Amino acid sequence: MKKVTTSVLLKMKQEKQKISVLTAYDASFAKLFDQAGIDVLLIGDSLGMVLRGEDSTLPVTVDNIAYHTQSVKNGTERALVVADMPFMSYATPAQAYENAAKLMAAGAQMVKLEGGEWLLETIEGLVTRGIPVCGHLGLTPQSVNVFGGFKVQGRDQQKAQKMIADAQQLEQAGIQMLVLECVPNGLAEQITNAVSIPVIGIGAGPETDGQVLVMHDMFGISANYMPKFSKNYLAETGDIRSAVAKFIEEVQNGQFPDEAHSFVD
């Protein structure tokens, strides 16, 4: 079983092989997803909403993420393990270095940060210190109060151009992967083509290099609401393992997401 690394993911983009990503929070589901062939496991700050029933990701702490990261790593042999940096854990470069080190020690192989241009110094510092970084643009849930809710981002031309520029600057600063959330299909395609690193979409249409879903959304059991971009694979298959296999298959062959699970321009 070939281990997934950042180099493997880059090669997948270059060869136009779609990348499949799911969130995971414990060893048992991590093992199930890993054995099914998932490429990346993300310990998301989404745990605040789907595990604890919060109405946002903001209450999640570094210790919360570290605990679940260790659990996921213990159940994983093949997939790349990525951990979210929670709200205000990277407000300064020094904070970011200290907290990212905790997550790497817990078993993460990459950390994910939300934001654009203001993060460039932090990203450069993390990469210099040997910590791989995944960026996150579009709807960044930690900024939900600034956005005024969970809304599609980048619909007007000025904001779209800013997002493209941010993606390119983040790549130059050293990120090795980028998540785009709740972005119109056409803009997501432009960003995917504007950078050489893998771009993973969630509500960003079919033209990104891969797709990520929150596992609870994929199983239709989220404590809150089901986003438009999510698909209940458990309802379609009636079996957890079959649901995971179908998600991976539909990502790989380009069936997911379709128009019903995207935001058209």
> Do 43 and 23 form a contact (C-beta atoms < 8 A)?
yes
3-state SS assignment for residue 50: helix
Give the E-state strand segments of 55-198 in sequence order: 80-84, 110-112, 133-138, 177-181
Give the CA distances from residue 16 to residues 176, 184, 193, 194, 229, in Å, rounded to whole numbers and listed in that order: 16, 21, 12, 15, 22
Residue 113: HSE in the Cβ half-sphere, 13 Å Cα cutoff: 34
Per the DSSP assignment, residues forming a β-bridge with 202 are 181
Candidates 181, 189, 249, 259; catalytic one:
181
181 is known as an active-site residue: yes
Closest CA to 263 of 183, 198, 200: 183
The CA distance from 234 to 148, in Å, is: 32
Per the DSSP assignment, residues forming a β-bridge with 178 are 135, 199
> Do 207 and 200 form a contact (C-beta atoms < 8 A)?
no
**The pair of three-digit structure tokens given for residue 108, joined into one six-digit string:** 């993460």
**The pair of three-digit structure tokens given for residue 232, joined into one six-digit string:** 């209940």
- Known catalytic residues are 181
